[in-house]
Structure 1
Amino acid sequence: MLSQGISMDFATGAPGWLVLDTVCSAILLVEVIVKLYVLQPRVYFCGPLGRWNVFDMALSGTAVVETVMSLAAGSGGAQSRLAMMLRGLRIARLARLAKLVRMPLLQELATIVSGFFISLRPLFWVLLTLFMVVYFMAVVLRTTLKGFTAESCPGDPDLSEDLDPEQCPFHLVQGQVYCGDVLGCMFSVFRCILGDCTTKPGQSLVMVFSDGFGLGFDLIYAFGMVVVTFGLFNIITAIFVEATLRGLKASDRQQKFTRDHQSGWMTQQLANFVELATQE
């Protein structure tokens, strides 16, 4: 993995990187073959670590395929067509780092990874809720600005000095630029929620709309930001924390049950072995 990152910035395309990739792929392939020989296929695929072994075999096969494609790649169009596929296969090697979460020294890392996957279902509903809020606010803005068109306004729409304040009010022109359609307005609203509510030259859209629409916009904007920032975001945070803690507790109980079951199984096997040895 270290060589992969270095090869992207230094001596890109040098033959030495291909040789190193070939050696690494050979090591991965030998590892799979040795495990299959030592553990036997039944234990390798169906044992306690069967899923991890299948995962390793898939990644090793991916590395071998990538190396073969790199060696077989020619020049010109064929090489350029294979470039995207090779990059995708290299990214798949990152998944091999998932094995590290089984190490006792990386228990905290395993907790973080488990918490992320546990929170995926709440994350879906959070995304849906945010989408609905952003969509509603974008529709309101589009309805407010729908009666004005900036096509007849000459000059740079981001510079108030180039516009006629009577025929082309600056705040309405900016509204058409950044809320000219629903999707564009949704993106602008999302940027404002995250704090990046600026125009291309760096002006604040909030202040532009405040100067143009007056106190009404100020009250609506302040109320909306309080509801979203202090209400919705706090609820989302609480849901994530609760779902993650609940999932981690369930995972800990499952792991404890598995350890107790394995301990009992080993004790029973030792007892059977001692009994057989005594009878002999």
Structure 2
Amino acid sequence: MSGTNQSSVSEFLLLGLSRQPQQQHLLFVFFLSMYLATVLGNLLIILAVSIDSRLHTPMYFFLSNLSFVDICFSSTTVPKMLANHILGTQTISFCGCFTQMYFVFMFVDMDNFLLAVMAYDRFVAMCHPLHYTAKMTHQLCALLVAGLWVVANLNVLLHTLLMARLSFCADNAIPHFFCDVTPLLKLSCSDTHLNEVIILSEGALVMITPFLCILASYMHITCTVLRVPSTKGRWKAFSTCGSHLAVKDTTATVLYTVVTPMLNPFIYSLRNRYLKGALKKVVGRVVVSV
């Protein structure tokens, strides 16, 4: 990567969210608490799905993959920020910055892709229940997830290689707590027109397509649910889907990178008696072993 880039900048400065010492201490405690809750909550979901045979279905297979992605997603940004705070530094190496950017946006893509696949899974389950088992086979689910990983990596690799061709000559201060694309483009002293075109075209397509899939799936689900004669049946169906839709109600970067991965385990488990039962088993085993 450094061989392609004739940059005089060997490292970047991550300025974080605040320069006030008191605010920095509060943010450290906040992010540390959020990160620990994210890892613990998502690990519990993965364990619950793996040990409870009732949860060996496509819906929970995708959910456990989402939990894994959320752990990795938070782990690409928060530990580095916490380490910088403890060590009293703000630096990140040139290669480290690009590596962090690569994994952050790969997991962002995977998060969106998995939410779209989960929406499709609910669409098939509610709109075509008699064909659900035949359509959503274990082989198809595994191929879907594997394909999503390939697409996410290829997409982010394209943007990373385009960023690697740029030069960074003077200012190396990034006003963020991780290496984001937009601040890096502003710091570059090269022509960034190609990068911006690819971001606005291919990048936008990759981000918008999952959203449209989710929207279309839930429009069909809503129409199907509204035809259910029982009010109780309609409420049960809507509550099942509501947990999935709640994940998309986040726009700010800090919320998306820290809060959403932490909330996903609670969103998906509180309304699901099978998952709550499996989580109780996991916690019970941990308590007994201790």
TM-score by length of 2: 0.26
What is the TM-score of this pair, normalised by structure 1? 0.27
Q: Which has the higher contact order (CA 8 A, sep 6+)?
A: 2
Greater C-alpha Rg: 1
